[in-house]
Amino acid sequence: MPSLADLTELIVFVLLAAGVVVGSLGVVLLPNIVYSAFLLGGVFLSVAGLYLLLNASFIAAAQVLIYVGAVNVLILFAIMLVNKREPLADAPGLGLRRLLSSGVCAGLLWLLLRVAYTTPWATPGPTPLGEDAVVRLGEHFFTDYLLPFELASVLLLMAMIGAIVLARRDVFASDIGTGEEADQGLIEKARTPLLIEKSRP
């Protein structure tokens, strides 16, 4: 009979895994995208719980801060900004595509599970570090992973500038599409979309 701590760990794992799987199914399948976004937050929190079970408290905290705090809020903002209810026109071959992709995903799942269950993993490995993991992470970042660490900061800066450039509307003195004087104000104003005529058949 396993000890009480092990049993608790197993029960918590089962609950978190069920939360992850059911939540992600909800994200993909629910018709209302706002429910999907909130369920996505639930999935991120459950994944953070799994990280806690895997002796990684720092990554769990980073997961909550970055995914739940930043990415999920960003997705909610995007839903708010593109909030238009439109009836989706039927596309040809959608049912066939759904069937084929379900087959591909089931095959991929079978492959991944087969790899996971037939490989003789070298468990148990070394004893996990526990709370000293943060110290070891810091050592890694400032010795053997210094270059990727610095590159990550450059990547984040580039992503920030790129997002601003892409999402801001008028950065040119004159509009490159129409040639008229561009409005440099920060508030969104109504304007005819450039490609809307071409998209209508």
**75-134 residues near other proteins, rule: CB under 8 A:** 75, 77-79, 81-82, 84, 86, 88-89, 91, 97-98, 101-102, 104-106, 108-109, 112-113, 116-117, 121-129, 133
Assess contact for 79 and 52: CB atoms under 8 A. no
Q: Residue from 35, 142, 146, 162 that binds other proteins (CB under 8 A)?
A: 162
Residue number, 8 or 174, with CB nearest to other proteins: 8
Residues 197 and 201: their CA atoms lie apart, in Å, by 8
Q: Is 183 in the site for other proteins (CB under 8 A)?
A: no
Q: Is 195 in the site for other proteins (CB under 8 A)?
A: yes
Which of 39, 32, 44, 25 is closest to 79 using CA atoms? 32
Q: Is 35 in the site for other proteins (CB under 8 A)?
A: no
Q: Residue from 38, 58, 64, 170 that binds other proteins (CB under 8 A)?
A: 58
Residue number, 91 or 173, with CB nearest to other proteins: 91
Burial of 23 from C-beta contacts in 10 A (0-12 / 13-18 / 19+): buried
- Measured from the Cβ of residue 57, the count of other Cβ atoms closer than 10 Å reads 15
Residue number, 167 or 173, with CB nearest to other proteins: 167
Residues 10 and 53: their CA atoms lie apart, in Å, by 10
Token code pair at residue 77: 């903002």
Q: Is 158 in the site for other proteins (CB under 8 A)?
A: yes
